[in-house]
Amino acid sequence: MTKILVAHDGSKLADKALKKAVEIAAKFDSSLTILSVVPELYLTELSDIDRQRIMNILTEESKAAMERIRISLSGKPFESKTIIRQGPPAEKILETAQKMKVDLIVTGSHGRHGAKKFLLGSVSSKIVDYATCPVLVIK
């Protein structure tokens, strides 16, 4: 059985990536892990209290997105789980992929920040550059 890691940032393209990963998992009896990384904020102009507030909101958003996905995948004929990590997104995705020894990482080409003038978003481009396994980028 192959292991697939889906990087999900709550964006529409991440949903599209998940949909493709679900198709693949159903065909090849793969297990799916959906990972949401809550980014850390480095904005120095923020007070610690504001930083904490924003982190709490982002964490709640991630939890809600993963819960929605968990429910949508329950009853599917393959194994799946959702996980949340905190830190720099690309690094955490790559680290998780290595630790879990996944066979494939699936991401969207763009995410929530949507600067579409670039071919790939910064997270997906780092994953393509540094992953040690195959990467499927959905656009």
Ligand X SMILES: Nc1ncnc2c1ncn2[C@@H]1O[C@H](COP(=O)(O)OP(=O)(O)O)[C@@H](O)[C@H]1O
CB-based contact 10:59 (threshold 8 Å)? no
Out of 97, 123, 131, 135, name the contact with ligand X by CB under 6 A: 123
Residue 133 φ/ψ, nearest 5 degrees: -125, 170
Out of 19, 53, 68, 112, name the contact with ligand X by CB under 6 A: 112
Asked if 108 is part of the footprint of Mg ion (rule: CB under 5 A), the reply reads no
CA atoms within 13 A on the CB side of 36: 24
Out of 4, 14, 73, 131, name the contact with ligand X by CB under 6 A: 14
- DSSP string across 35-92: EEEEPPP--TTS-HHHHHHHHHHHHHHHHHHHHHHHHHHTT-SS-EEEEEEES-HHHH
Give 14 or 25: the residue with its C-beta nearer to Mg ion. 14
Asked if 111 is part of the footprint of Mg ion (rule: CB under 5 A), the reply reads yes
What is the rounded distance in angstroms from the CA atom of residue 21 to the CA atom of residue 34?
10
We find the least distance from the C-beta atom of residue 70 to ligand X, in angstroms, to be 15
Binding mask 71-110 for ligand X (x = CB under 6 A): ------------------x---x-------------xx-x
What is the end-to-end Cα distance of the chain in Å, rounded? Answer: 26
Using CB under 6 A as the criterion, which residues of the chain lie in contact with ligand X when the complex forms? 7-9, 11, 13-14, 17, 35-37, 39, 89, 93, 107-108, 110-115, 121-124
